[in-house]
Structure 1
């Protein structure tokens, strides 16, 4: 509940107009959903849902006036299509019928732009666009989901004159739709170049594939350096093509729209109010997890199996490697969490300690001698090697670049070249 409340308050800081819930948003009950709505200061819109506890105000629609233009906002959802069906007590009607009814209401009130928030999936959103062609745009969301995997951001498309917009989950991307009204016309031409957007998505896919191949080839002695450099040249061409596709000419006459998807990056900057709320939330999670997992200790290693020894033990014989490691970001990985009150955050800690959740390793609260990304993260548990270095080899003498990808992946790290990055952690006595 703390996370939901924090998100709602952050959305209020950002000026949320409205949202449409999926099944996951009902999990704490309708009174809590109303509390989150109040905290968000936005409208909760689900025109096609009724039932005990559903407030009339939730059904909408809403009218907003922006720069003199009346914009109608409609929300529909299909939690009954999510895994396990709709929450008990909810009556879910046809999204199409609800949108038609709300469009008529909004038109009578003078709405010139009509936007639907549709937590119904992309297929149903397209059917709404077919059935109600005078909509301006449909913002697509999922009826409900589970799991931590990040979804790709589908390219936008138009069904007739209706723009279908959808972003990736977990706020990996955000979309901006700008409408430019000329001469009082509300028929918006495509000023984005949606065909270009689809090409851009294809180019992005090819760039990702090329990066992966280069990383794989660089670790393969059978692939010549000339071939690798040729692929790097191909990658540069693709990246240039992507940059060119970001440009689209503005229509010379008439109203038009521009649609843009922005990948979320720390480099974009921050909002101070939102940052303060997130910091308070992380402090709250930290304190709660510190108590909740205080007694969770790592399992002992099986008899005859190596255990984690810690960097100080490794330093006894590998002092040169230690000097290299001390200068890397790996040596300060745990501090990057503790400085943000995230060292007990279950979503973060595993990549900032050694042997997390492994036999003889660390847990969220028990990280003695195993803070930071130490030698054994890459080389494997080394107790047996440390006890008899002349007889027992290091478990993984030369880690492959691919091993870095277990932590260095989106949304935490973007466009990561494992082979090149590995150079940053090598030095005299450590790989050279």
Structure 2
């Protein structure tokens, strides 16, 4: 799939392309009901002697898969009920039911290196070594896409000398329109990708440019940045003049920045939001929305959810491809499945209501039957250009890419070997004079046997073993939340964890050496914290790593016989942490193997 070099053009080359607003509203039910009986057995065979119409030429199917910032993520934390992401599943998806000759993958920049302000940001030599290994694995798999990849440049690509070195070391087909500071690295203002037709000859051209939102931090790292709208206008015009039939603008910025470009740049068919805001959008992105001339796409970050746009084009339309206002939007399987769930819920409600109108229930049942039939037998695309938009979650239910899976196994093995050597004999500093040290749960159980027995029934007691099973007990991204006193004075380190494996008593109650020597003073517990405030839990139970965490519900598991029975009684009945997690796993369709 060849990539054409950028060619200059004036704004006049764009030409007037009036567009009418369109949307997805009411699309699902009306489209499906209209086609519900298409091709059904009841339509009967053709009459004897009738002349069959000539077969229509095959439609051209083109797939665009958009990422937001990947930020060095190769696999998700396996502690959530539905881990999203993973190199092996990303490329398993890209290689399944998508023609590699008619595929374009785009990412807005920030691919290789973690966000310097994020929780995965490397802060020391060992963490940077791991980040570099992940960057290498990412670059190898993304580079394998060849000419079907176009990448942007992000501020975190330049956030440190090591990040800048990664950008130079691992070249990819990158674009950036509102800065020319990276020309020496092969970064160009835009690229035009040729897509072959069903006959193998060039049939369609996809143009891609990228702009970076000029935030103060971005300007500090990237230098002066031209306003996004003016830069995008110039490059969209140039791409149209170069023959681009569909134009994509990657915006390394928030949705607001993407909307500004979509509204201010005539001729931008698809605008990709590079930085989703908020935990939920970071995971799932948001459905495509019609803005201005085209559509704004919003994938999730860290390759957790991709936005997949599939164009089905009538060959007769290729000579003068209509713009987004004329595209026929077809509901994706994802949208139809959600609508089916909604109809099922409504039917359950009204069937249970004796006063419900039978005619209304019958209409809902008809809608449901048509929708179920459509899901079972996907309707053929129609119109000059038919398009589906899908937010594809990257889960362990997807096909596995063998090369991606092997890259992760190699990474885990490298981390285990390197960090065992690097941290052998390394211990945290001793506590200051008069301060407590960590002693381990075994010493605690000498006086608190009943509490230890209850603790052994909790998930905290198996925290370290979950890492050992997948060779991640030496991984800096994981180990700190699976041991006691990690990198605290008198606590544990990556290798030196003997007696402090798992989430033991002292994680919640603090180091216990002083308490062990003097358990009480004046009839009260001494040298120990009786209760753990929610902030203690939130150090590890973050939204990204513990999606079902609820303080009171989780306390109902942690407290019990011999361990805070009175406090447990005050909590009363209610959901437990185990129940919340079980519900989350059921909703996700079952557990995934722990990754990273």
TM-score, structure 1 normalization: 0.70
- 2:152 aligns with 20
1:138 paired residue number: 271
Paired residue secondary structure (2:219): coil
Q: CA deviation digits over 1:77-109, x for unaligned, max 9?
A: 338645263658x78555445534443454355
Distance in 2 separating the partners of 1:30 and 1:403:
36
Matched, 1:374 2:504: yes
- Within 2, Cα distance between the matches of 1:63 and 1:176? 18
Q: 2:434 aligns with which of 292, 295, 304?
A: 304
Q: Deviations for 1:149-175, whole angstroms, at most 9, x for unmatched residues?
A: x95846754322322223444344433
Which residue does 1:175 correspond to in 2? 307
Q: 2:193 aligns with which of 60, 63, 78?
A: 63
User: CA shift at 1:63, angstroms?
Assistant: 1.5
Distance in 2 of aligned mates of 1:269 and 1:120: 31
1:297, distance to aligned residue in structure 2 (A): 2.5
The answer on whether the counterparts of 2:289 and 2:295 sit within 8 Å (CA) in structure 1 is yes
The Cα RMSD (Å) is 4.3
Counterpart-to-counterpart distance in 1, 2:463 and 2:214: 44
Q: Matches of 2:209 and 2:230 in 1, distance apart?
A: 12
When residues 429 and 86 of structure 1 are mapped into structure 2, their CA distance, relative to the original with a 3 A threshold, is closer
The aligned residue for residue 7 of structure 2 is none
Matched, 1:188 2:327: yes
| Residues 117 and 138 in structure 1, CA contact (< 8 A), matched pair in contact too | yes
Cα distance change of structure 1 residues 171 and 137 upon mapping to structure 2, 3 Å threshold: same
State which of 142, 167, 174 in structure 2 corresponds to 1:33: 167
In 1: Cα distance, 2:197 partner to 2:456 partner: 56
Deviations along 1:60-80, whole A, 9 cap, x unmatched?
312142776725131223386
2:190 and 2:210 in contact (8 A); partners too: no
CA distance, structure 2, for counterparts of residue 272 and residue 396 of structure 1: 49
Q: What corresponds to 2:240 in structure 1? A: 107
Aligned-pair CA distance for 1:20: 0.6
Greater relative CO (CA pairs within 8 A, separation 6+): 2
Render the CA deviation track for 1:276-301: whole Å, top value 9, x for unaligned. 21232233334444444456432323
Could you give the per-residue CA deviations for residues 106-160 of structure 1, whole angstroms, max 9, x where no partner exists?
4355533221222254444333323322222111225xxxxx9x95846754322
Name the CA distance, whole Å, in 2 between partners of 1:67 and 1:333: 53
The Cα offsets for residues 326-374 of structure 1, whole Å up to 9 and x where unpaired, read as 3433222223223434333332221011012222222333323211111
- Displacement after TM superposition at 1:13 (Å): 5.9
SS at match of 2:525: coil
SS at match of 2:271: strand
Instruction: Name the CA distance, whole Å, in 1 between partners of 2:495 and 2:196.
Output: 50
Does 1:159 pair with 2:298?
no
Query: What is the SS of the residue equivalent to 1:54?
Result: helix
Q: Secondary structure at the match of 2:262?
A: helix
What CA distance in whole angstroms lies between the structure 1 residues aligned with 2:290 and 2:497?
Answer: 52
Distance 1:75 1:108 in 2: 14
Does residue 4 of structure 1 match 2:135?
yes
Query: Alpha-carbon deviation of 1:406?
Result: 2.6
Matched position secondary structure for 2:463: helix
Which residue in 2 is equivalent to 1:351?
481
Asked if 2 retains the 8 angstrom alpha-carbon contact of 1:76 and 1:119, the reply is: yes
Whole-Å Cα distance in 2 between the matches of residues 94 and 396 of structure 1? 54
Between the aligned partners of 1:127 and 1:35, the Cα distance in structure 2 is 33
CA distance in 2, matches of 1:410, 1:64: 42
Matched residues in 2 for 1:31 and 1:389: separation? 54
Residues 1:429 and 2:562 are matched in the alignment: yes
The answer to whether 1:119 aligns with 2:249 is no
1:323 aligns with 2:453: yes
1:70 is paired with a residue of what secondary structure? strand
Q: Which residue of 2 aligns with 1:277?
A: 407
- SS of equivalent to 2:454: helix
Does structure 1 retain, via aligned residues, the 8 Å contact 2:287–2:391?
no
Deviation at 1:315, TM superposition (A): 1.7
Structure 2: runs of 5 or more not aligned: 1-131, 336-370, 566-596
**What's 1:411 paired with?**
544
SS in 2 for 1:44: coil
